[in-house]
Structure 1
Amino acid sequence: MPIHTLYPAERGNLNLSFEYFPAKNDEMEVQLFQTVETLAAFGPAFVTLTYGAGGSTKARSLTAVRRMIHEAGIPQTAAHLTCVGASRAEVDGIIEEFIATGVRHFVALRGDPQGGVGACYEPFPDGYENAAALVAAIRARGDFEISVSAYPEKHPESPDVSADIDMLKRKVDNGATRALTQFFFDNDDFERYLQRVRGAGISIPVVPGIMPINNLASIIRFAGLCGAKIPDSIVTRLAHLDDNPEERFKEATLIAAEQIVDLARRGIRDFHMYTMNRAPLVSAVCDLVGFERLPSASRAAGAAA
């Protein structure tokens, strides 16, 4: 597919957001904020920072969110929050800490079972039972942006797509304002899912999650855990390039850019990119699609605001 099939005016109407995760050590924290600074050139509508189940990354998450808002000049930083492994009182305390830090946008998630992906989920004693309940708790505290998850290929624990969409509707009824999807690679799956979501009366934005493939073996393992499939055509394009990192990088860039362009031609205008805290591939994809970079002076003004 030719990449440059979007006119400049069309590209100008597309919105980006990026996901990051808290660093595990000081060296990785340097890399995180270098990535944040690099990708800020594309003027993301917002960025999100993940959060470990039961507060396992609480300190680093709070620190990173604070730095993103007050040092990196990204007031639209969204804090992920889960309800796994914590009581309602503990989760409520974390919500208040994030609000005090300046957070005005949350990503409310149930979280993976404490036994890991594939284990049976059980609500924590006196905890919020699911993401819908967590959304309601956040909404009760004010007029916040609340994003939630969505699954074009069905959540692996849901009995069927209908049950999955019913849960999404419960989250929306409780105050969710946006859905960010699990990564996927088949745009037809996303389009069919979006049609079913709209047919269920759900009107909030459903933003496709885009995962540029830095490592094919890793993404195959990850996709297996979360119920996403990788088309054979993508595996074929990348599998023979393990010993040729330069060509593998170019092909991975093409794959992600082609996906975004195709979705844009189908009318999608918002894209959430999973960065894995690495800038090169995400930057290359954004450049290939034709997203404009903000002048340095504009970024500096944003940081000082």
Structure 2
Amino acid sequence: MTATGISACNDRPAFSFEVYPPKSVAAASALTRTIDHLAAAGPEFISVTYGANGSSRTSSLDVLRYIKDHTTADAMAHLTCVGSSHAEASRLIREFLDAGIRSFLAIRGDAPQGAAEGDTTFLGDLHSAGELVQLIHRVQAERVPYIETVIPGLPAARGLKTERSRVRIGVAAFPNGHPNSRSVAQDIDTLLAKQAAGANLAITQLFFHADDYLSFIQKARSAGVLFPILPGIMPVTSPNRLRRILQLSGEKLPAALSIALEVEPTEEGQRQIGIDYAVRLGQDVLAGGAPGLHLYAFNQHETVLSVLEGCGALPVPATMP
């Protein structure tokens, strides 16, 4: 484990993955195989998305339990502020903690389509990721207020240890600005507020140019953000996927990638273009000092593992004597 709290092995960069809950029995079976492949690569963690208003609560927890019980990867649960009361959010956090989950990604969540600008009624009792971070810490503190320890030389005596098991809480960062933000300074102030609330990791929204990430990191560090900020990278393997990503994220069109995908006639050729682009992006941010890579896997392992291989993050297979 490095000083930043992100692991690295033999100078290979650390990495992590995101998957989403399956929507059918067949998809669930396929996802367990994908998780097995992803976990075998040695990620720092595998995060599992969670639908607003509990729309994927059970299936998310099932996936998290599979990761925890069948792999050596840390399982990270997503939590959002959307539609939850304090009591409901507390119950969900406790449920995850009781299942052995010790890593969370706390995000505010997006407004539903058609919501008026500035309308926050969809959020419920929690109005920011910082409030959700604080609630996770509070529930953990209430759940395990102390630990009994044996006093050396006095076998029958017990002492009280107030230190609790560490909870990793990640938050979102926006290299190109949150859609509702007025400036980069506001985005960084928001990140500082999340840090003050107890967050100890950030994962960025998608970006397509290394300078976007590296410039944001420089400004965040200058402002006092201390925790690791992982670059979120998604291999874009088709023009349709690129259009969908841009629609959801609001990112600007990456012209070179878009043109290359549009003129390539074969699916395999498009897939390789997406992999190569993600490899170059990963290499550039790592060279600029990124503490690792966070890859959005789309519940498939082949593409993201190819990206990691290109970035030199995967272990080299042992050769036979």
- 2:3 is aligned to none
- 1:252 is aligned to 274
Tell me by how many angstroms 1:133 deviates: 0.3
TM-score, normalization by structure 1 = 0.87
**What letter corresponds to residue 129 of structure 2 in structure 1?**
A
- 1:79 is aligned to 77
Length, aligned pairs only: 286
- Match of 2:231, SS state, is strand
Find the aligned partners of 1:212 and 1:254 in 2 and give their Cα distance.
Answer: 9
Find the aligned partners of 2:260 and 2:115 in 1 and give their Cα distance.
Answer: 28
1:176 is aligned to 2:199: yes
Native 8 Å contact 1:20 1:48 kept in 2 = yes
Q: How does 1:1-305 map to 2 (within 5 A)?
A: 12-74=11-73, 76-115=74-113, 120-123=118-121, 127-140=125-138, 141-142=140-141, 143-241=166-264, 243-293=265-315
- Match of 2:170, SS state, is strand
Give per-residue Cα distances to partners, 1:208-257, cap 9 Å, x unaligned: 0011013322222322332222321111221111x312222222111111
Change (3 A) 1:224 1:129: same
Tell me by how many angstroms 1:161 deviates: 1.6
Higher mean displacement: 94-103 or 275-284: 275-284
Change (3 A) 1:268 1:126: closer
Find the aligned partners of 1:65 and 1:10 in 2 and give their Cα distance.
Answer: 24
Q: Which runs of 5+ in 2 are unaligned?
A: 1-7, 142-165
Find the aligned partners of 2:299 and 2:180 in 1 and give their Cα distance.
Answer: 28
Tell me by how many angstroms 1:11 deviates: 7.7
Tell me by how many angstroms 1:102 deviates: 0.5
Give per-residue Cα distances to partners, 1:165-207, cap 9 Å, x unaligned: 1111111100000000001111111111111111211111111
Give per-residue Cα distances to partners, 1:32-53, cap 9 Å, x unaligned: 1111111223200111001011
Find the aligned partners of 2:96 and 2:175 in 1 and give their Cα distance.
Answer: 29
Find the aligned partners of 1:155 and 1:236 in 2 and give their Cα distance.
Answer: 26
**What letter corresponds to residue 14 of structure 1 in structure 2?**
P
Change (3 A) 1:121 1:219: farther
Higher mean displacement: 9-18 or 39-48: 9-18
Find the aligned partners of 2:315 and 2:122 in 1 and give their Cα distance.
Answer: 45
Q: CA RMSD in A?
A: 2.2
